[in-house]
Amino acid sequence: MTDYQKLFDLRGRRALLLGAGGIGREAGLALAAQGAEVVCADRDPDTAKATADAIAGEGGLAGAVELDITDAGGLERHLGEVGDLDVAVLTAAMNVRKRLLDYSPEEFDRVVGLNLRGTFNVLRAVGARMVARGSGSIIAFSSIRARTVEPGQGVYAATKAGLESLVRTAAVEFGEAGVRVNAVAPGVVETPLTAQIKADPDWYRAYATKGALGRWSLPSELAGAVVYLASDASSYVTGSTLSVDGGWTAVDGRFTPPA
C-alpha cells in the first residue's frame, strides 16, 4: 500500500543543480528541505557556493562545484567526481533580446550553445549514468516561449522548443531503464534574466496583466514543480512539460471583453 505521507520525501537522494542562481537557488533549497543532498553547479563558482551555503544554513546537505555545461568534456569529468545522482535539474539559460534581422551569428551561437547544446550535453552525460543505474529523474527548464513568441524572442523561443523536443525524446529513449525526463515551463519570473523588462514600468505591467493571475511569479513559486517531478509523487510522469505560468498560455490576448 502506498504511503502517501512520503510521496515528496527525498531523503537519501542526491540532486545535481545545473544553474544555481535565481530559480535554481530556490529549487535547491526546496529539494534540500525535502531531505535531498544537493550538489550546486554553476559556471560562476561564487553563485554555486552561495546557494550551497544557503542550503547548509537551513540545515541541509549541499556542496558546490564550478561547471560549464557547454563544455561536454568538462561536464563528463565533473560528473565522474560527483558520483551517483538520483535527480538532475537544469535551469542554466541565456537570452539576447533582438529581432531576427538584428541578430548577429555570434549572438545566435551563444544562445543556442548554452540553451540547446548545453541541454543536449546534460541529457547525454547525466542520462547515460542514470540509465546505467536504472533510475533517476531529469528536470529541464523550458519557457512559455516554447509555444508563444513575441518580437525579439525568436532565437530564445527556438532553443526552448528544441529543449522540449529533446526532453520528449530522452523520455522515450531512457524510459525502459526507469529514468524519467520532464520539463518545467515558467511564465514571467522576477529574475536577473528579466531585468530589462522589469526596468520598464509599462512593459512590466503589460506582462503582469497578460496571465490569468495578473502578476509576475517569484522564483520560489517554481520550486514546488521541481520537488514534484523529482519525487515519487510523479513516478508515472515522463515526457511532459509542466506549465507554471500563472495562466499565461490559457489567456487569449490581453483584452477582457464585456460578458
35-67, pLDDT tens digit by residue? Answer: 999 999 999 999 999 999 999 999 999 999 999
Tell whether 234 is covered by a domain.
yes
Instruction: Based on DSSP, count helices (H) and strands (E) in the chain, helices before strands.
Output: 9, 7
Active-site annotation holder among 4, 103, 156, 236: 156
- Residue 31 located in a structural domain: yes
Structure confidence at residue 256 (pLDDT): 67
How many angstroms separate the CA atoms of 153 and 47, rounded?
Answer: 26
237 belongs to a structural domain: yes
Inside any domain, residue 207: no
CATH number at residue 44: 3.40.50.720
* Structural domain total, the chain: 1
Neighbouring CB atoms inside 10 A of 186's CB total 24
Q: CA 232, CA 230: separation in Å to the nearest integer?
A: 7
Q: Of how many residues is the chain composed?
A: 259
What percent of the chain shows pLDDT beyond 70?
98
Q: Is the pLDDT reported for residue 29 higher than 70? A: yes
Average pLDDT over the chain reads 95
Q: At how many degrees (to 10) do helices 118-133 and 154-174 cross?
A: 10
- The amino acid that residue 44 corresponds to is D
**Residue whose cell numbers read 538520483:** 86
> What phi and psi, each to the nearest 5 degrees, are found at residue 179?
-100, 130
**What pLDDT, in 10s, does the model give residues 97-129?**
999 999 999 999 999 999 999 999 999 999 999
Residue 22 lies in a domain: yes
In a domain, 205, yes or no: no
Say how far residue 157 (Cα) sits from the centre of its chain: 15
156 is catalytic: yes
